[in-house]
Structure 1
Amino acid sequence: MSLSLFILGSLANENSSPYQLKKALLDVIPITISEGKFYYNFEALQKKGFIEPVETIQIVNRPNKTLYGITQEGRQFLEQEIYNSFKKVSKIEDLYISIYLLKFIDPAKAAFFLEETIKKEKKQWDEYKRAKDKEEFKERMESLDEKQQRAVQFISEHAFSQSEHNIYWMEKLLTFLKGFEE
C-alpha cells in the first residue's frame, strides 16, 4: 500500500505523469521497485477513481504525455490510509512513505495511533517472553535434538532483537510526531 500512498501524496502536491512520479519516488526514498509493480499500483488507483487524467501534453515527434491528478475520493483515501499505516505498523520501514507524507494528516492523531500500536507490540513480545519461561515450552525444547534447540535459540534471539529494535524506532518516531509541528 505504501507505493499507492506515494502516488496519491505526490499527486496531492501537483499533477504529474507516471514516469515523473516513478523517478521522484526513486530519487526521494531508498527503495527498490519494479516498473511493473509501480504501473500496476498506478492503474489500480485510476480504476478505483482515486486519480484521473487532467491534461494531455502533445510534444512534436514524441508520444503524448498524460498528466494525472488526485480526486477528492483519492484525498480522503490518502488521509485514511496514512492513519491506518500508523495503526498497523510492525516494522518502521513500512512507515517510510507515511512519514514522508505527514503534511497531509494531523501528526498528533498519528502519534495517538502509533502509541497504541507500540503498547500492543510491547504486550505481544512480553507474552512471548513469558511463554518461553513456562514449563510447557521447556518440555517442547527438550523433545528437540541439540541442533534443533540451537536453531530455535538462534531464531528466538533474532526475533527478540528485531522486536526491541523496531520498538526503539517506533518510540523515536513517536517523539518525532509529537514534535513535528513545533
Structure 2
Amino acid sequence: MTLSLFILGSLADENSHPYKLKKQLLDTIPIDKISEGKFYYNFETLQKKGFIEPAETIQIENRPNKTLYKITKDGKEYLEREIYNNFKKFSKIEDLYISIYLLKYIDPHKAAIFLEDTIIQERKRWVEYREAYNNEELLRQYQLLEEKQKKAIEFISDHAFSQSEQNIRWMEKLLTFLKSTDK
C-alpha cells in the first residue's frame, strides 16, 4: 500500500499530527489494519526526505505536546509524481486505492493514459498465460498428474483467470471514471 502517499495527501489538505492521520486512514480506506511501527516508519521517512516538516507544536494542559506537520514543496511534487507512477505500474488493484482517493492532486486524464497502457499490458499478459496454459508440453505433464492434483490445478487456474478478468473489468470502469472526471 502507498501509505506515504496517503500521509502526503492528507497533509496537503491540512496540517495534522500522526495519530490523527492514522485514524483518518483507517476510517477512509478499506484496509484491515496497519501497524503502528509501519505507519510511523513511513512518517519518519517522509520527514527525513524533506517531504514533510513540523509546522507547530500544540501544548495541552496535562497532555503531551502534539506536533502538527505540513507538506513541503518537495513533498507536493513527490506526491503528484508518485500518484502518476501508481497508475503506471502497480502490482495489486488495492495499490490504486489511495491514488484514486488522491485524484484531486493530479490530472485524471493523464492518469487515464497511464492506466490505459496498464490495461493493455495486463490483457496481453493473461493472453500469454492462457497460451502457455494450453502448451502441449504442459498438457502432457498435466496428464501424468494424479486426479486430485489435476482438480487442484483446475481450481487454482479457474480462480486466477476469473480474478484477472474481474480486475481488467474493474480497471476499465476506473478508466471510464478517470476520462469523465474534471481536473
Task: Please indicate the TM-score interval, normalised by the length of the shorter structure.
Answer: over 0.9
Superposed CA deviations along residues 46-97 of structure 1, whole A, max 9, x for unmatched, are 1111111111111121111100011111111111110111111343222111
Q: Distance in 2 between matches of 1:133 and 1:25?
A: 44
SS, match of residue 68 in structure 1 = strand
Give the TM-score of the pair, scaled to structure 2: 0.95
Taking the aligned partners of 2:106 and 2:116, their CA distance within structure 1 comes to: 16
Looking at structure 2, the residues matched to 140 and 159 of structure 1 have their Cα atoms a distance apart, in angstroms, of 20
Which segment is superposed worse, 172-181 or 18-27?
Answer: 18-27
2:49 & 2:144 partners in 1: Cα distance?
Answer: 53
1:3 matched to 2:3 = yes
Using the TM superposition, give the Cα deviation of residue 112 of structure 1 relative to its aligned residue in structure 2, in angstroms.
Answer: 0.2
Alignment partner of 2:57: what SS? strand
State how far apart, in whole Å, the 2-side matches of 1:71 and 1:140 are: 58
- Report if aligned partners of 1:6, 1:25 keep a CA contact under 8 Å in 2: yes
**Where in structure 2 are the equivalents of 1:167-182 lying within 5 Å?**
167-181=168-182
The CA deviation at 1:40 is 1.3
Q: Displacement of 1:115 after TM fit?
A: 0.2
TM-score (norm 1): 0.95
Q: What does 1:77-88 correspond to in 2, within 5 Å?
A: 77-88=78-89
Do the aligned partners of 1:90 and 1:166 also contact (CA within 8 Å) in 2? no
Q: Which moved more, 1:145-154 or 1:120-129?
A: 145-154
1:80 partner letter: R
The Cα of 1:17 is off from its aligned counterpart by: 0.5
Question: Helix, strand or coil: the match of 1:45?
Answer: helix
Q: Aligned partner of 2:113: which letter?
A: F
Give unpaired runs (5+ residues) of structure 1: none
CA distance in 2, matches of 1:162, 1:90: 14
Alignment match, 1:34: 35
The runs of 5 or more residues in structure 2 that have no matched partner are none
Say if 1:5 and 1:81, in contact at 8 Å, map to a contact too.
Answer: yes
Alignment length, in residue pairs? 182
Which residue matches 1:24?
Answer: 24
Match of 2:12 in 1: 12
Q: Secondary structure at the match of 2:15?
A: coil
Task: State the SS of the aligned residue for 1:55.
Answer: strand
Q: 2:167 & 2:141 partners in 1: Cα distance?
A: 28
**Bigger mean CA deviation after superposition, 134-143 or 156-165:** 134-143
Moved more, 87-96 or 128-137: 87-96
Task: Quote the Cα distance in structure 2 between the aligned partners of 1:90 and 1:22.
Answer: 23
Determine the structure 2 residue equivalent to 1:61: 62
Q: Structure 1 segments of 4 or more deviating over 6 A?
A: none
What CA distance in whole angstroms lies between the structure 2 residues aligned with 1:38 and 1:99? Answer: 20
Letter in 2 for 1:128: Y
Give the fraction of aligned pairs with identical amino acids, expressed as a percent. Answer: 71
